[in-house]
Amino acid sequence: MGLTCSSSSGEFNHYNRRINAILASESKNLPMKLLLLGAGESGKSTVLKQFRLADNQAFSTKERERAKRAIFANLWDSLSSLLAAEEEGELPVRPELRQSYEALPRKQQREPGLETIRLIARLWKDPGIQSRLTTHGSKLELLESTQHFSEKIDEILKSEYLPTDEDILLLRVRTIGINVIQILEQRTMIKIIDVGGQRSERRKWLSHFDDVAAVLFLVSLSGYARVVHEAEETNQMAEAIGVFTTIVNEKSFFKSNMILFLNKCDLSAKMIGTTPLTVCFQDYEGKENDYTEGVEYITELFQDLVVNHPVAKHKFYVHVTCAVDQAAMRLTTGTVKHICVSNILTSMI
Ligand SMILES: Nc1nc2c(ncn2[C@@H]2O[C@H](COP(=O)(O)OP(=O)(O)OP(=O)(O)O)[C@@H](O)[C@H]2O)c(=O)[nH]1
Ligand SMILES: [Mg+2]
């Protein structure tokens, strides 16, 4: 299918070719593929949720109920890490609470129900836990959601509580397999695929590499001072650089757009005030606790891997993001959708 026109106007022909390109893609009925990649915890699923929200695809009650159980599990994980870090000389957690915690059957630990959460709430409020949170919180690398959910634990305890959009964005659930959504942008269907980023999940990536219009690669900016969950001897930023290098060299993507989200800028902005970039980049010579200089340094590092590539000619876009910020992400996801749609137009011109 296509339109023809014999106009001598270059501009008109250009416009005409664009229409033909859209019609051609529509007639094949194939959605554009946007593939979210990145190491574990970089924020891929959070970004996928933002694409959904920006497209007014609201979370259903069933999804919110599932999220509620996951929030219980998040609270349990953070609490267990804090209890495991008990050290001599610290303010002890009330013994009767610790005993109740230790007596919990395994099933209730894996899938904490309301009773378990009541116990978790009492433990969270215990002065021993609160002091441990202050002294060990950063060393233990607790889930990002810890502070948010522990602060609203009384609300979470209510039987009528259903997670808000904000809660769902902050919730941590490791992706196993894939999550997929479809959104319509300027009459073009975009299929967005979110894969699991942990090491054991990456071998499944290959089956999604065909016909990718754009790769959206996520890097956690706060990862310079955090370790990989499944390989604690490895720094998250080093892991991200390794994975990104592989993706940039992947033949299947030589013609795809490459969009980089330097994510968790909110967390890194706080972190850089106390932990200099040199903990990860020994040759960094910029100002020690300067967030802007630090981000520039990291941006250039990733940019060099793409721009200086001997073969691939990616169009490369970089965004510094906070994936849990709904207002900002509405704009950023809009830009990404625009990039995807313009790609089908330009690739056929
Ligand atoms: N504060 C803050 N938290 C974020 C940001 N992006 C993601 N998070 C949180 O980080 C955690 C991990 O995010 P996910 O979206 O699950 O990461 P992922 O890349 O999908 O991880 P895998 O599924 O294991 O590959 C979640 O609790 C998110 O709410 C951000 O920009 N700022
Ligand atoms: Mg995920």
3-state secondary structure of 337: helix
Query: Please, which pLDDT band fits residue 349 given cuts at 50, 70 and 90?
Result: very low
3-state secondary structure of 220: strand
d(Cα 184, Cα 55) in Å, to the nearest integer?
Answer: 8
Rounded to 10°, the helix 127-136/61-84 angle is 80
Whether the Cβ atoms of residue 180 and residue 193 lie closer than 8 Å to each other = yes
**Ligand index nearest the alpha carbon of residue 218:** 1
Domain ranges of the chain: 10-40+175-347, 61-170
**Is pLDDT at 226 greater than 70 in this prediction?**
yes
Mutation test residue for ligand 1: of 36, 37, 41, the one with most atoms within 8 Å of CB: 41
Give the CATH H-level superfamily of domain 10-40+175-347: P-loop containing nucleotide triphosphate hydrolases (3.40.50.300)
Query: Please, which pLDDT band fits residue 6 given cuts at 50, 70 and 90?
Result: very low
In tens, the pLDDT along 149-185 reads: 999 999 998 989 999 999 999 999 999 999 999 999 9
**What's the confidence (pLDDT) of residue 24?**
58
**Ligand index nearest the alpha carbon of residue 270:** 1
Q: Which of the residue ranges 111-120, 179-188, 194-203, 294-303 would you say has the lowest mean pLDDT?
A: 111-120
Q: Point out the annotated binding site for GTP.
A: 41-46, 169-175, 194-198, 263-266, 323
**What's the confidence (pLDDT) of residue 283?**
93
46 alpha carbon to ligand 2 midpoint, in Å?
7
In tens, the pLDDT along 320-345 reads: 999 999 999 999 999 999 998 886 55
In tens, the pLDDT along 51-87 reads: 999 999 999 999 999 999 999 989 988 888 888 877 7
**What's the confidence (pLDDT) of residue 50?**
98
Query: Please, which pLDDT band fits residue 301 given cuts at 50, 70 and 90?
Result: very high
Tell me the one-letter amino acid at 21: A
Q: Is the model more confident about 73 or about 193?
A: 193
* Fold observed for domain 61-170: GI Alpha 1, domain 2-like (1.10.400)
Query: Please, which pLDDT band fits residue 102 given cuts at 50, 70 and 90?
Result: confident
For 238, half-sphere exposure in the C-beta direction (CA atoms, 13 angstrom radius) is 14
User: Residues with Cβ within 6 A of ligand 1?
Assistant: 38, 40-46, 143-145, 169-172, 174-175, 196-198, 263-264, 266-267, 322-324
| Residue 109 backbone phi and psi in degrees, to 5 | -75, -40
**Is pLDDT at 20 greater than 90 in this prediction?**
no
